[in-house]
Amino acid sequence: MNTTDLLHFLERANRIAAITDLDPLLDETLGLLVDACGASAGLLYLPEGSATGVASRLLVTGSEAISVLLSNRPLAESLALPEAALLQREMIRVDDLPAGAAQYPGLAELAECGVTNTLAIPLLLADSPACVVQVFDIGEIELEMAQLLGNRLASDVEKALLLEASRLRSRRLETLIAIIGQIGSTLDRDQLLRLIINSAREFLGAEAASLFLLDETQGDLVLLLASNINENVAVERLRVPAGKGIIGHAVQSGKTVLVPDVAQDARHYSGVDHSSGFITRSILAVPLRARTVDLGGGRGATRERIIGGVEAINKIEGTFNDDDAHLLCILTNQAATVLEIASLYNDANELFMDVVKSLTAAIDAKDPYTEGHSERVSEFSAAIACELGLPGEAIHHIRIGGLLHDVGKIGVPDAILCKPGKLTDAEYDLMKQHPTIGAKIMGQVRTLHTELPAMAEHQERLDGTGYPRGLKDGEISTTSRIVAVADVFDAMTSDRPYRKAMSADETFDYLHERGDLFDRACVNALLRAYRKGAIRTQKERVAPGEDSS
């Protein structure tokens, strides 16, 4: 290479240095060295950067025959010579390919394609290789000039790598923030768990992800959710014995575990693979930590504990690295905290519902003929709300309102509630006070304000003949219209001391005939739910031969 050619290629290298995007820069770098060496073809190998997190690249240019060969054979054979040049940090030239095949597999096949020689050039920056270029069928070139050009471009490759890594990290952090925002938007435990594993898989570019929770009584890990595994195979709820498997080690030790090849790791537990047919090659496992809130004597105190673990399985491009591990830890720690809050919320909600059911059961129990009435009204009301297409939050409040609609009967004397015959006018006036009493009692509970109409208005009628306020038409809330229909339907299809239960068909006929009293849309919604089998009357729940009372 003469001085003019060298200056030409150095000027070309300067123009390449202005490129900031990694892939175009690598393409131009490969092209420059192929041209400078007078080669027929070349490849550029960029190993995966553990520091940058940028995935490996293998670019091929030039001869079609060489390109096809390199694309269709095992990667290790194509990279034997480049890997050696990277390791030795110096150029390696092979002029006798068949002879060199003993040391560098695959060179004999290149010779069969007509390749006469090859040269691997590591692009060195302060004696550290950024990447390596291998060229084939080189012409007359001084090796020092080839290395000079390679080293000239090494710093530009390194800068592009760092810039690409910065962009990648920024994108991943933005994605992580968005995921954490989604995690914080729900307290639904199942939805939250599904979001965690789907996010982990997509976020890390993995083939699959799994979430295990710790069974604190037995110490086993229970596989609750697994993404991208054959849906026809029931792998969820499989157990990994305590301390077994890579995930078991991560949970037991509290440390992140990176395994690039599970076949080489004796800790790998293959039970899930055998059950699912999924082939695990690499794993990133992190413990799922939560800060538990201790209530009672140490009110407000928190303590950290490990409640399970998350696995990302089989990195699609490259291998899992420390950056993947760091970001997955952030995701799982945030998710675990919200998961613990969700559990506290669910526990509190279950306690609340248990108290409400106990209260309404106690009221129903005052009269053996109304036992289970509030539960059924709650169920019928929720079914109506579902058929009307109301949102989940509204259905939840209507369900509770149905449970509590008769709570005011706690203020009505037992003698009136249990009287088998017709009530006197005075007794009926006392009975008609129960909606007002119920709303007054529960009005002191801040979390039940949405449910108050179900208690205060369920005896109101569209024509204004109801009680206690004589509301009519649009003055009556949707919740109250729903509960009113559910209440009458259960009352009429249940036995009473003064009459036998009517059939469901007879009751629906009555409700349709009295469209002046009951919301027709609610009646039709209840009818649809009944025909679907979503609800059953009291009589239909009693086994043949049993006393419905």
Report the C-alpha gap between 540 and 361 in whole angstroms: 20
**C-alpha to C-alpha distance for 462 and 517, rounded to whole angstroms:** 5
Adjacent-strand bridge partners of 164: none
Closest-CA residue to 80 (of 45, 55, 53): 45
Asked whether 169 and 323 are in contact (CB, 8 A), the reply is: yes
* Residues ≥6 apart with Cβ < 8 Å to 328: 200, 203, 204, 256, 284, 286, 310, 312
Neighbours of 226 (CB within 10 A): 23
Cα-based torsion angle of the residue sequence 123, 127, 128, 134 in order, rounded to the nearest 10 degrees: 30
Tens of pLDDT, residues 410-448: 888 888 887 877 889 999 999 999 999 999 988 888 888
Q: Which pLDDT score is estimated for 536?
A: 93
Give the DSSP H/E element, type plus range, for residue 287.
strand 283-294
pLDDT of 548 above 70:
no
Structure tokens at 395: 């259905």
Nearest residue to 131 (alpha-carbon basis) of 18, 46, 199, 204: 46
Three-class SS of residue 430?
Answer: helix
Alpha carbons 288 and 255: distance in angstroms, whole number? 10
**Among the listed residues 336, 308, 313, the one whose alpha carbon sits nearest the alpha carbon of residue 220:** 308
pTM: 0.58
Separation between Cα atoms, residue 289 and residue 366, nearest integer Å: 48
Helix (H) or strand (E) holding 344: helix 322-364
Cα 435 to Cα 439: distance, rounded to the nearest angstrom: 6
Q: Which two tokens stand for residue 39?
A: 């080669």
517 vs 213: which has the higher pLDDT: 517
Residue 199, classified by CB atoms within 10 Å of its CB into exposed (0-12), middle (13-18) or buried (19+), is buried
The helix/strand/coil state of 279 is: coil
- Please give the helix or strand (H or E) that residue 44 lies within, else none: strand 41-46
- Residue 301: predicted pLDDT: 55
pLDDT in tens, 304-330: 788 889 999 999 887 888 888 988 888
Residue, of 189 and 103, whose pLDDT is higher: 103
Q: What is the DSSP string of 89-152?
A: TS-EEES-HHHHTTTSTTHHHHHHTT---EEEEEEEETTEEEEEEEEES--S--HHHHHHHHHH
What percentage of the chain has pLDDT greater than the value 90? 38
Answer yes or no: is pLDDT of 152 > 60. Answer: yes
pLDDT of residue 528: 96
* Mean pLDDT, residues 517-526: 96
pLDDT reported for residue 292: 62
pLDDT in tens, 269-315: 777 677 666 788 999 999 988 766 555 544 555 677 888 899 999 99
Spatial contact of 25 and 156, defined as CB atoms under 8 Å apart: yes
Q: What pLDDT is stored for residue 33 in this prediction? A: 93
Nearest in space to 476 (alpha carbons), one of 491, 498, 454, 449 = 454
Backbone φ and ψ for 131, nearest 5 degrees, come out as: -165, -175
Q: What is the DSSP string of 359-402?
A: HHHHHHTTSGGGTTHHHHHHHHHHHHHHHTT--HHHHHHHHHHH
Assigned token pair, 483 = 């509960």
For the record, the structure tokens of 126 come out as: 């302060």
Amino acid in the structure at residue 272: V
317: DSSP letter:
S
Per-residue pLDDT tens for 387-415? Answer: 999 999 899 999 999 999 999 988 888 88
CB count within 10 Å of CB 225 equals 21
- Rounded Cα distance, 215 and 271, in Å: 18
What are the structural domains, with CATH classification, of the chain?
3-168 (3.30.450.40), 184-345 (3.30.450.40), 365-541 (1.10.3210.10)
Which residues are CB-neighbours of 320 under 8 A, at least 6 positions away?
Answer: 204, 206, 258, 260, 282, 283, 284, 312
Q: CA-CA distance, 373 to 276, in Å (whole number)?
A: 47
Of residues 56 and 266, the one with the higher pLDDT is: 266
SS3 (DSSP) at 78: helix
**Cβ-count burial of 298 within 10 angstroms (0-12 exposed, 13-18 middle, 19+ buried)?**
exposed
Cβ density class 61-100: b for 16+ within 10 Å, e for less: bbbeebeebbeeeeeebbbbbbbbbbeeeebbbbeebeeb
Mean pLDDT of 210-216: 87
CB 57 within 8 A of CB 43: no
Q: Is the pLDDT of residue 379 over 60?
A: yes
User: b/e map of 334-371 (b: 16 or more CB within 10 Å)?
Assistant: bbbbbbbbbbeeeeeeeeeeeebbebbeebbeebebbe
User: Is the confidence at residue 43, as pLDDT, over 70?
Assistant: yes
The single-letter DSSP state of residue 227 is: S
Structure tokens at 260: 């690039």
Q: What strand order describes the sheet that includes 239-240? A: 239-240, 221-226, 206-214, 301-315, 283-294, 257-259
Interacting residues of 192 by C-beta distance below 8 A, sequence separation 6+ = 183, 186, 335, 338, 339, 342
pLDDT of residue 544: 47
